[in-house]
Chain A
Amino acid sequence: MLREENKVTFGNMTPEKTETEEKKDQTRDLIELGNTSVSNPKGNIHCLTIIGQIEGHIVLPPQNKTTKYEHVIPQLVAIEEDNQIDGLLLVLNTVGGDVEAGLAIAEMIASMSKPTVSLILGGGHSIGVPMAVSTKYSFIAPSATMTIHPIRLTGLVIGVPQTYEYFDKMQERVVQFVSRNSNISVEKFRSLMLKTGELANDVGTVLFGEEAVNCGIIDAVGGLREALAKLYELINESKKPNA
Chain B
Amino acid sequence: MIIHSIVPMDVIFNNMEDCNGKPLEIEYMGEKIEVMPLSNNQYKISRLLSTSPKAYLNPLFQPGNIITGIDLEKNEKKIR
**Residues in chain A within 8 A of chain B (CB atoms):** 3-6, 8-10, 13, 25, 29, 32-33, 35, 37, 46, 53, 56-64, 68, 70-71, 74-75, 77-79, 81-82, 95-100, 102, 123, 125-127, 147, 149, 151, 153-155, 167, 170, 174
* A82-B64 contact in complex given A99-B4, A125-B6, C-beta closer than 8 Å: no
CA distance A70 to B53 in the complex (A): 11
Contact B15 A62 (CB under 8 A): yes
B 55-80 contacts with A by CB, 8 A? 55-60, 62-65, 75
Contact A153 B58 (CB under 8 A): no
* A61-B4 contact in complex given A5-B30, A33-B59, C-beta closer than 8 Å: no
Q: Total A-B residue pairs with C-beta atoms closer than 8 Å?
A: 121
- List, in ascending order, chain B residues with CB within 8 A of A61's CB: 12-16, 18-19
CA distance A74 to B14 in the complex (A): 29
* A78-B57 contact in complex given A33-B62, A33-B64, A71-B48, C-beta closer than 8 Å: yes
* A78-B30 contact in complex given A32-B64, A98-B1, C-beta closer than 8 Å: no
CA distance A177 to B62 in the complex (A): 29
Contact B1 A151 (CB under 8 A): no
Fill in one digit per residue for B19-63: 1 if any A CB lies within 8 Å of its CB, else 0: 100000000011100000000000000011010011111111011
CA distance A28 to B60 in the complex (A): 11
CA distance A195 to B60 in the complex (A): 45
Contact A71 B3 (CB under 8 A): no
Contact A33 B4 (CB under 8 A): no
Contact B47 A70 (CB under 8 A): yes
19 pairs, A vs B, C-beta closer than 8 Å: A4-B30, A5-B29, A5-B75, A25-B59, A37-B57, A53-B5, A61-B13, A61-B14, A61-B15, A74-B50, A77-B56, A78-B53, A81-B53, A96-B4, A96-B6, A97-B5, A98-B2, A98-B4, A99-B3
A191 CB, min distance to chain B CBs, angstroms: 18
